[in-house]
Amino acid sequence: MTGLHTTTFGERGSLVVFCHGLFGQGKNWTQIGKVLSPDHRVLLVDMPHHGRSAWAEEFDYLDAADQVAGLLTGDDPVALVGHSMGGKIAMLVALRHPELVDRLCVVDVSPVQYHHSEEFTCYIAAMQALDLDRLERRADADEALTESVPNTTVRSFLLQNLRRQDDGWSWQLNLDVLGRDLERLGDWPADRLDDAASYDGPVLWVAGETSHYVKDDYAEAMDRLFPKNRRVTIKGAGHWVHSEQPEVLTEVLRRFIT
């Protein structure tokens, strides 16, 4: 069983599954998914602790990967696309359940440990500090976060997780668990994988030109785990490739999954 919320587009063609990054939701990939949907069936997945998916006591990459794998069947192998945190989850799906994945696209992340969680800690603290009971409009939240999150694009992205219901405003993020397990989110669970683990299907690595998540220093790990990979760098994009250069990324994906 899986407690993951999904959204679908398209009724024919091969299946393309999207796994979003930290603080995101499946709907962040709606624009690209709809463009692909005339020729492909598209599945947008809310990762654990995000969007409308279930929350658990802790964040665990292998558990998240197995939950995504639970949405798939060996009779319908997929093109699996993952960005950032979702890219790590997608990589682990391919490594642990290779029979389910026809091809893999990893967007701006590598199978390594990262140590730059300070900005994410600040984002979580800012969201937790917001007094939801005093909010009347979403604009009030935007104003309240301006000092802590001055970047308009980032602030808008975070506020997509703020939802209004009959009983008031709430976050669709499990902020307590994500904040507590942030170091684990930056990690790569190499010690929990089989020493011989690898995925032999085709892999496309997409990096943003100004991002630091995909470096030559990480090539050894990429090549060892995913020997049939090729890399593409998208100009004019940082870490948020799908929002900064959606048309270019869509065309890159279209060529890879066709």
**Cβ neighbours for 255, distance < 8 A, ≥ 6 positions apart:** none
Residues marked as catalytic: 84, 176, 239
Q: How far is CA 51 from CA 20, 86, 164, 181, 231, in A?
A: 10, 13, 13, 18, 30
Same domain for 42 and 61:
yes
HSE-up of residue 3 (Cα within 13 Å, Cβ side): 11
Q: How many CB atoms lie within 10 A of CB 61?
A: 19
Summary mean pLDDT of the chain: 95
Number of structural domains the chain divides into = 2
Q: What is the pLDDT of residue 116?
A: 67
CA distances from 255 to 8, 55, 148 (A): 21, 35, 40
- List 78's β-bridge partners, or say none: 101
Domain extent, residue 61, equals 6-114+188-257
Measuring CA to CA, which residue among 20, 33, 105, 114 is closest to residue 68? 20
Give the CATH number of the domain where residue 41 resides.
3.40.50.1820
Is 217 found in the same domain as 167? no
Same structural domain, 75 and 123: no
In tens digits, what is the pLDDT along the chain, a chain of 258 residues? 469 999 999 999 999 999 999 999 999 999 999 999 999 999 999 999 999 999 999 999 999 999 999 999 989 989 999 999 999 999 999 999 999 999 999 999 999 999 867 889 999 999 999 999 999 999 999 999 999 999 898 899 999 999 998 889 999 999 999 999 999 999 999 999 998 899 999 999 999 999 999 999 999 999 999 999 999 999 999 999 999 999 999 999 999 998
Domain end call among 132, 150, 180: 180
140 inside domain:
yes
**pTM for the model:** 0.96
- Residue 1: inside a domain, yes or no? no
| Residues 34-70: tens digit of each pLDDT | 999 999 999 999 999 999 999 999 999 999 999 999 9
Predicted pLDDT of residue 33? 98
Are both 168 and 80 inside the same structural domain? Answer: no
